[in-house]
């Protein structure tokens, strides 16, 4: 689950670094990740599996609802939410970085 980029510890209060430097004429802005994402309920565990056969199992930080007819909540820990989906919990909301024009 590790990669070369410095993945910030997200505890719901700290904001991670943007994924890379913004190109000329643009800048990163933290924006809400969207209505499918919300902060996990206490006690939920991360379901991320990656290449492994077993789920991560860490305490979940954020949850995304998947499925059209049958919405299913998928919880992710802070590390996997940021590493896989670029989202993090902050002040009770789920945020992501968006490139915007200067």
Say if CB 79 and CB 86 are below 8 A apart. Answer: no
CB of 27 to Zn ion, least distance (A): 30
- Residues that contact Zn ion, how many (by CB under 5 A): 6
Cβ-based neighbour number of residue 38 at 10 Å: 17
CB of 79 to Zn ion, least distance (A): 6
Say if CB 95 and CB 31 are below 8 A apart. Answer: yes
- Both tokens of 60, joined, read 């979940």
CB of 46 to Zn ion, least distance (A): 3
Q: What's phi and psi for 47, nearest 5 deg? A: -100, 5
Instruction: Check binding of 80 to Zn ion (CB under 5 A).
Output: yes
The helix (run of H) or strand (run of E) holding residue 82 is helix 78-85
Binding mask 40-69 for Zn ion (x = CB under 5 A): ------x-x-------x-x-----------
| Binding segment toward Zn ion, per CB under 5 A, in 5-13, 29-37, 64-72, 74-82 | 74-82
* Contacting positions for Zn ion (CB under 5 A): 46, 48, 56, 58, 77, 80
């Amino acid at each position: 689950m590790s990669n070369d980029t410095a993945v910030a510890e997200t505890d719901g209060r700290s904001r991670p670094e943007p994924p890379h430097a913004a190109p000329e004429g643009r800048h990163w802005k933290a924006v809400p990740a969207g209505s499918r994402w919300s902060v996990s309920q206490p006690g939920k565990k991360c379901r991320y599996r990656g290449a492994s056969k077993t789920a991560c199992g860490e305490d979940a930080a954020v949850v995304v609802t998947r499925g059209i007819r049958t919405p299913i909540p998928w919880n992710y820990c802070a590390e996997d939410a940021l590493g896989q989906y670029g989202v993090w919990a902050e002040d009770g909301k789920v945020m992501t970085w968006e490139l915007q024009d200067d």
